[in-house]
Amino acid sequence: MAPTTKTNRDLSRKRFERAKQSLVEGVNSPSRGEAVFSPGPIFLERGQGSRVWDADGNEYVDFMMSFGALIQGHAHPHLVEVVSRAAAEGSHFAAATSAEVEAAERFLRMLPSAEVVRFTNTGTEATMLALRLARAHTGRQKFLKFEGHYHGWYDPYLLNAHSHPPEQLGTPDHPARIPDSQGIPPATFEDVVLAPWNDEAALKRVLREHGRELAAVITEPIMANMGCILPRDGYLQRLRELTRDYGVLLILDEVVTGFRYAPGGCQQYYGLGPDLSTFGKALGAGFPVGAVSGPHSILDRMRWGDDMVLHYGTFNGHRLTMKVVAANLDLLSADGVYRKLHATGEAAILGLREVFRRHNIRAVVQGLGPMFQIYFTEREAVNDYRDYCAYVDTRRYSRFVHLLLDLGVYMTPSNGLHWIISTAHTEEDVARLVDAADRACAVLA
């Protein structure tokens, strides 16, 4: 059966018109609004497990999962109970609490590279703090970021985090430096060295030139903001060795990958020992949180004193969030959790590949276990930012996802994001996805 566009979204449409009177573009982040969804966003009102319901009562299997935050799906009964009980006792004291200690102890148990952790409220705050720590620790100002990597919306990270037409990118040796936002003083970017990712030769060249002046290299272990691009074999390990050779700190930004691939994140999965790691999303299972972890020798620079690295925040270690973090990490420590996440994700990847093959549609389904992306492209793989900018048909992807939305699958039509498998997803959900993809392909083809 071909999908229809008859899904009733009258209430979503009405609410969006109203929202636009009081909120910029009717939303609180451009990734949720008209720039992505046509004719406008679907207003979600309720979630349970892997499912969400919109304002008009339409049900969807959710594969966006709050941009990856909902590792346990929606309204996990244990987390609901924990947070309800905690809220009744008082939400937050901005004082020392047992809740933050319980969260920290569990965090450190799961992450062998970490001697100590500092909680923030978002991934952006975590990457901000990590850079400040790295600069203070090394006494150097500059840092290296990779093209197409996103580390939150802190000023110096907002260089080439978006995709652009390939003719605007410059060469890999001399990448064009394209700010992602107005309002950032150009001088901010003078301390940013930009390099292509997944390219060992380019990395060596850049480090030869700038290595001794860099405080840090920051990288996502899996490039998760141009879809889902895996590191080439040995690339991250080489990055670790080379940064060490130049006395540069390696900041592994695990905001997306942390607690998703293994109890100890991608660093465990790939056997890496970063100097600093940043977390967010899945750590809080839907509650706002971030974290920076690493050795005492670096993080203890935040200890009070004349030469300290300052990190304040009324809501740091928010009590309700810390209760959820501790309970979430307990759930993730149970036997078989990661095996199931990987197996469910692999089933979805294989199922989708088969659908595109059957319909003779050129598409790459790329990723690993619980996180993947679909690229409509003539290429065999998308290996970096430049491939993404040059060869991926993002409009076709958006059309495909809009078809899926009408078939009861919720996902953002933005190709730069990625499909997420949570512990709540089942074989039946994967079957629904594959069936919907099959029907969407019949229309696309």
Ligand X SMILES: Cc1ncc(COP(=O)(O)O)c(C=O)c1O
Decide whether 62 or 429 has the Cβ nearer to ligand X: 62
CA gap 21, 436 in Å, rounded: 35
Site membership for ligand X, residue 220 (CB under 6 A): yes
Q: Say how far apart CA 423 and CA 443 lie, in whole Å.
A: 31
Alpha carbon distance 318, 353 (integer Å): 42
User: At how many degrees (to 10) do helices 427-444 and 394-405 cross?
Assistant: 120
Size of the site for ligand X (CB under 6 A): 15
Q: Which of 40, 41, 47, 152 binds ligand X (CB under 6 A)?
A: 152
Q: Where are the alpha helices (DSSP H) in 40-97?
A: 65-68, 77-88
Q: In the annotation, is 281 catalytic?
A: yes
Interaction between residue 412 and ligand X (CB under 6 A):
no
Taking alpha carbons only, the member of 127, 95, 66, 110 closest to residue 288 is 66
**Considering the complex, what minimum distance in angstroms separates the CB of residue 168 from ligand X?**
23
Identified binder of ligand X from the candidate list 9, 140, 151, 260, rule CB under 6 A: 151
Q: For residues 72 and 414, which CB has a smaller minimum distance to ligand X in the complex?
A: 414
Does 255 bind ligand X (CB under 6 A)? Our answer is yes
Task: Check binding of 160 to ligand X (CB under 6 A).
Answer: no
Amino acid, res. 373: Q
Q: Which is nearer to ligand X, 114 or 347 (CB)?
A: 114
Query: Which residues are CB-neighbours of 274 under 8 A, at least 6 positions away?
Result: 113, 240, 250, 251, 252, 267, 294
The helix (H) or strand (E) run that includes residue 216 is strand 214-219
Q: According to the binding rule CB under 6 A, does residue 147 interact with ligand X?
A: no
Check if 150 is active-site: yes
Please report whether residue 127 would count as binding ligand X according to CB under 6 A: yes
Residues in 66-85 at the binding interface with ligand X, rule: CB under 6 A: 67
Rounded to 10 degrees, the C-alpha dihedral 30/35/39/43 comes to -20
Q: Does 324 bind ligand X (CB under 6 A)?
A: no
For residue 148, give the nearest of 378, 343, 386 by alpha carbon. Answer: 386
Interaction between residue 217 and ligand X (CB under 6 A): no
Give the sheet arrangement for strand 214-219, strand by strand: 116-120, 290-294, 276-279, 249-253, 214-219, 142-146, 192-195
Shortest distance in whole angstroms from residue 375 CB to ligand X: 18
The yes or no reply on residue 294 touching ligand X (CB under 6 A) is: no
Give CA–CA dist 354/417, Å, rounded.
Answer: 22
* Binding status of residue 293 toward ligand X by CB under 6 A: no
Kindly name the residue from 60, 150, 270, 397 that is annotated as catalytic: 150
Residue 441: in which H helix or E strand, if any?
Answer: helix 427-444
Q: Which is nearer to ligand X, 123 or 264 (CB)?
A: 123
- Compare residues 54 and 220 and give the one whose CB is closer to ligand X: 220
Build a one-symbol-per-residue string for 82-121: x at contacts with ligand X by CB under 6 A, - elsewhere: ----------------------------------------
Residues contributing to the site for ligand X (CB under 6 A) = 67, 122-124, 127, 150-152, 220, 224-225, 253, 255-256, 280
Q: What residues act catalytically?
A: 150, 253, 281
